[in-house]
Amino acid sequence: MRAASSRGLGLRLVVAFSLIAMLCALVIGYYVSQARQQVGADYTALVTDVVRAQQDPAALRMTLDSLIDSQDRIHLEQIHALLWRIPRRIDGIRLQLRRSELAPASYGELVEELAHVESRLPALEAAVDVGAEQGLDERGSEAILALGMEVEEGLAWAYSELNELLHRASAEQRQLMERLALAVAVLLLLLLLAIAAVMRMLFQLHRQRETMRLQSRTDELTALGNRRWLREAAEQAFERRRRHGASLSLMLLDLDHFKRINDAFGHPVGDAVLVAFSRVLERQVRRVDRVARMGGEEFAILMPDSDLAGAEALAERILRATRAMSLPGPAAEHRLTVSIGVVEAGEERSFDRLYSRADELLYRAKAGGRDRAVTGQGQAVPRPAGGAARTAIDAN
């Protein structure tokens, strides 16, 4: 029962720990997934805007080169369209930077450069408007080219540096999140170890409690149940008898002149005799019977679902087996006998009443010459012929 109880608790603890471990694994997986998505979301929009904005200085440089080759009005219209788009790109990027997790000091110089570019856009737009209205001459073309190259170089440098800054910041944040994810995993692992330690402690406490409970109900020498254990079993048997009307019998056994064995051969031999007699009783009883050592050389057998006739038959077998058992060590040449009182529960409603009646019958068996069983009707189970053929240590 103890092993089954410990296995049941151990199985429940293993299942609980497995569920907790799976939950921790899911938490780690979800955290890592969300962390990676968050890292990507932090910079994706800003990087996309910067990449798109980098097309403006490239388009401006291409348009200026075309203007050098051919002073066509269409190039002025292209420049005019870029001048409309560039400040809006700058405003969008500036807003994204303020919303980002980047430190203002890391991009302050770049924002200043974009602000400088914005300050040059009106002059470039004015030169383009003049060229569109009055036509392009050499002086006008040079003015447009000079202002356009200044704007293009400022935008190209600022966007390139900003793109590098974003990639570096994204890599740093990803590395930080990976470290945080590792820290979370380590913390969860420590939590699992702590939970495992607590569960192990609970299991050990349960086993210790079961051991103490078993020890409090078990005779240390013979490993049979003790008086407390038999009383608990009797209460269950009486409850079953009240519900179902089942029969119930009790047998008390007392080894005859056991003190002489201790005096003649010593207590170690006496203890060995008690253990050997306990094994004899266990071999003779049914699986449902309860064998207990009540103290000293007195034993008891509680027999559920057994009437007086069945109890008498068991007593006869025990008498024969006791006479036939070999005593250990120096007592091997001697014979052991036992006196037995057997009673079937009648109107008794408690173990104490039933025990008291069985004890009276045991007293009769000892007073009647020992090596016999006296039943509930006061009848002694006859001693088999030739029972004294071996040397009897209890003979008077």
pLDDT at 298: 96
CA pair distance 234, 242, nearest whole angstrom: 12
- CA distances (Å), origin 346, targets 241, 325, 377: 11, 34, 12
- Cβ(214)–Cβ(271) below 8 Å: no
Neighbours of 56 (CB within 10 A): 20
Residue 369 pLDDT grade (very low, low, confident, very high; cuts 50, 70, 90) = very high
How large is the average pLDDT for residues 95-116?
Answer: 85
Q: What is the pLDDT of residues 202-254, one digit of tens each?
A: 777 777 776 676 667 888 899 999 999 999 999 999 988 888 888 999 999 99
Identity of the amino acid at 394: D
**What are the residues whose beta carbons fall under 8 Å from the beta carbon of 129, sequence distance 6 or more?**
80
pLDDT at 18: 73
pLDDT at 93: 87
Cα–Cα nearest to 300, from 362, 246, 258:
362
Angle between helices 55-69 and 138-216 (to 10 degrees): 160
Q: Pick 372 or 132 by higher pLDDT.
A: 372
pLDDT over 90 at 16, yes or no: no
Q: What is the pLDDT of residues 64-77, one digit of tens each?
A: 888 777 767 787 78
DSSP state string for 308-375: HHHHHHHHHHHHHHHHHPPPPGGGTTSB--EEEEEEE-SS--SHHHHHHHHHHHHHHHHHTTSSSEE-
Least confident of 149-153, 274-278, 301-305, 371-375: 149-153
CA pair distance 376, 361, nearest whole angstrom: 7
Least confident of 46-55, 308-317, 382-391: 382-391
**What are the residues whose beta carbons fall under 8 Å from the beta carbon of 132, sequence distance 6 or more?**
73, 76, 77, 80
pLDDT at 202: 77
pTM of the model: 0.52
- Cβ(293)–Cβ(331) below 8 Å: no
Cα–Cα nearest to 67, from 154, 153, 142:
142
% of the chain exceeding 70 in pLDDT:
84
Residue 365 pLDDT grade (very low, low, confident, very high; cuts 50, 70, 90) = very high
pLDDT at 174: 74
Cα–Cα nearest to 271, from 203, 306, 223:
223
DSSP state string for 135-151: ---HHHHHHHHHHHHHH
% of the chain exceeding 90 in pLDDT:
30
Catalytic residue numbers read 297
pLDDT over 50 at 396, yes or no: no
Q: What is the pLDDT of residues 92-102, one digit of tens each?
A: 888 888 887 77
Q: Phi, psi at residue 35, to the nearest 5°?
A: -65, -45
* Cβ-defined contacts of 184-188 (< 8 Å, 24+): 184/27, 184/28, 184/31, 185/28, 188/24, 188/27, 188/28
Domains and CATH numbers, the chain: 2-196 (1.20.1420), 227-381 (3.30.70.270)
Q: Pick 212 or 6 by higher pLDDT.
A: 212
CA pair distance 218, 238, nearest whole angstrom: 21
pLDDT over 90 at 362, yes or no: yes
Q: Pick 84 or 26 by higher pLDDT.
A: 84
pLDDT over 90 at 349, yes or no: no
pLDDT at 187: 75
How large is the average pLDDT for residues 372-378?
Answer: 79
Average pLDDT, the chain: 82
Residue 10 pLDDT grade (very low, low, confident, very high; cuts 50, 70, 90) = low
pLDDT over 70 at 391, yes or no: no
Q: Pick 91 or 47 by higher pLDDT.
A: 91
pLDDT over 50 at 389, yes or no: no
Tokens 């120096």 belong to 330
pLDDT at 8: 64
pLDDT at 384: 52
